[in-house]
Amino acid sequence: MLQATNVPGMHTYGPPLPQPNRFFQRGFGWVLGAVWLFYLGQPLNTILARPGGFAKWFSLGALALFALSYVLVFLWTRRMHLERRDPPLKAALGWLAATLLLGLAMIPGAGGDWMVGLVYIAASAIMVLPPRAAVPVVAAIAAQPLVLPMFIPSWQHENGLFFSIVLAAIAMFGVTRMIDHNMRLTDANREIARLAVAEERARAARDLHDILGHSLTVITIKAELAGRLLPVAPERAEAEVNDLEKLARQALADIRRTAFAYREVSLEEELASARSALSAAGIEAKLPRAVAEVPEPRGTLFSWAIREGVTNVVRHSGATRCVITVRPDQVEIADNGRGPAASGAGGSGLRGLRERAEACGAQLSVGRAEGSGFVLRVSVPA
């Protein structure tokens, strides 16, 4: 589907992309914080019931600023969580102190009903303070509806308000923990996705190395052989050049299949390819003419082992003879060449083969063959 764009000369294919909802991006936090302000209806009604005067309007302004302060604390804490940061302790204590002062400023008009604001202060303490600091602060706040009426007879004991403060603190604690867990879950999902991408890249790198390494090695050897045969045996050189064309086409097809993640190998094909590569390199090949059916994923693992082993024999061994043995539980590639390197460290091909073997629960062994030469063995437990 062709979609118009605002950029001259550019066309976009595909359905229109959904646009982000600005309400959920910006307004949702305000709504979520402000929805709990209806509890301030009790001190608001008390203030509005007073006759006009300084106390009434001063307390009404303090109430409005108190409500705004709570919403701002909520939004600030929400932003801190989204940014994976803890609220600074000094700023948190300063904000709580300012909110408390605004609550006390409601006393001239609201009287004892100002203590409803303690519910919001306790919830704010849970939001902005670490748990160890928030618990004693909430305990002190919750005690005020029980303690203050003892000293101010005109204020009624508020047992219900005590439980409201405790429940609000517990509820806000649950909300903050849920936010933290959701953020951790998001981080974990991102890490899983990153690891999946890394694993897929490693798989593609192994496949490309094994395919290109083997194919290019055989192509190089056959090209050298065709060059040597051209002056003395043009007909054989022509046959080798034809083989080169087939190998190049096959390598291109393998790369395309690998790019689309359905590259498959089989023991029979790898044995035939190994025979051709060893023959072109002038190495005597002793290979099984046929093999019993090997179950997957073992058969694929053995095929990659043969491909990697033969590539190393042709490239590095200097051998004149190579023996490949295939059993239902094991494959072995041995030569009579110069043997393993002194360091004993394998290249990227052996590392990739080791990763394949570990994924199948198999064991990769490399080292010196009996007498001389190099042996590569992959064994699968019965």
Q: How far separated are the first and last CA of the chain, in Å rounded?
A: 55
Query: What local confidence, expressed as pLDDT, does residue 260 receive?
Result: 55
Chosen domain end from 133, 157, 181: 157
According to DSSP, the residues that pair with 325 across neighbouring strands are: 332
Q: Do 200 and 298 have their domain in common?
A: yes
Higher pLDDT, 286 or 381: 286
According to DSSP, the residues that pair with 127 across neighbouring strands are: none
Query: What local confidence, expressed as pLDDT, does residue 3 receive?
Result: 44
Q: Is residue 230 part of a domain?
A: yes
Q: Do 135 and 206 have their domain in common?
A: no
Q: Do 230 and 91 have their domain in common?
A: no
- What CATH number did the domain enclosing 271 receive? 3.30.565.10
* Share above pLDDT 90 across residues of the chain, in percent, rounded to a whole number: 4
- Residue type at 296 in one-letter notation: E
Could you read off the pLDDT of 343-367 as tens digits, one per residue?
455 566 788 888 888 888 888 888 8
Q: Do 36 and 128 have their domain in common?
A: yes
Strands 284-286 and 321-327: parallel
Could you read off the pLDDT of 285-310 as tens digits, one per residue?
899 887 777 888 888 889 889 888 88
Q: Is residue 66 part of a domain?
A: yes
Q: Is residue 137 part of a domain?
A: yes
Query: What local confidence, expressed as pLDDT, does residue 27 receive?
Result: 47
Nearest to 250 by CA among 214, 279, 220: 214
Q: Is residue 270 part of a domain?
A: yes
Query: What local confidence, expressed as pLDDT, does residue 34 receive?
Result: 63
Query: What local confidence, expressed as pLDDT, does residue 61 receive?
Result: 92
Q: Do 149 and 233 have their domain in common?
A: no
Four-point Cα dihedral 319, 320, 326, 332, nearest 10 = -20
CA 344 – CA 363 distance, rounded (Å): 17
Average pLDDT over residues 175-179: 78
Q: Do 139 and 49 have their domain in common?
A: yes
Q: Do 49 and 135 have their domain in common?
A: yes
- Residue type at 379 in one-letter notation: S
Average pLDDT over residues 257-276: 73
Q: Is residue 345 part of a domain?
A: yes
Look up residue 12 and give its two tokens.
Answer: 């976009």
Q: Do 46 and 118 have their domain in common?
A: yes
Looking at every residue in the chain, the average pLDDT score rounds to 78
Confidence band, pLDDT 50/70/90 cuts, at residue 267: confident
Higher pLDDT, 263 or 334: 334
CA 92 – CA 219 distance, rounded (Å): 71
Could you read off the pLDDT of 199-250 as tens digits, one per residue?
766 766 666 666 666 677 777 777 887 788 888 888 888 887 887 777 777 7
Give the length of the chain. Answer: 382
DSSP state letters, 140-202: HHHHHHHHHHHH-TTSPP-HHHHHHHHHHHHHHHHHHHHHHHHHHHHHHHHHHHHHHHHHHHH
Q: Please state whether the peptide bond connecting residue 297 to the residue before it is cis, i.e. omega within 30 degrees of 0.
A: yes
Query: What local confidence, expressed as pLDDT, does residue 22 receive?
Result: 52
Residue 6 has pLDDT above 70, yes or no: no
Residue 157 has pLDDT above 80, yes or no: no
Higher pLDDT, 34 or 284: 284
Q: Do 356 and 229 have their domain in common?
A: yes
Query: What local confidence, expressed as pLDDT, does residue 322 receive?
Result: 92
Could you read off the pLDDT of 12-45 as tens digits, one per residue?
444 554 554 454 445 455 555 566 777 788 888 8
Higher pLDDT, 122 or 224: 122
Q: Is residue 170 part of a domain?
A: no
- Residue type at 187 in one-letter notation: D
Q: Do 83 and 215 have their domain in common?
A: no
Look up residue 98 and give its two tokens.
Answer: 């300012």
Q: Do 152 and 255 have their domain in common?
A: no
Higher pLDDT, 240 or 9: 240
Any idea what DSSP says for residue 260?
T
Chosen domain end from 130, 157, 184: 157
The residue range of the domain holding 151 is 25-157
Q: How many domains are contained in the chain?
A: 2
Four-point Cα dihedral 118, 121, 126, 132, nearest 10 = -80
Look up residue 114 and give its two tokens.
Answer: 């100002």
Q: Is residue 248 part of a domain?
A: yes
Q: Do 113 and 198 have their domain in common?
A: no
Q: Is residue 73 part of a domain?
A: yes
339: left (phi over 0), alpha (psi -120 to 50) or beta: left
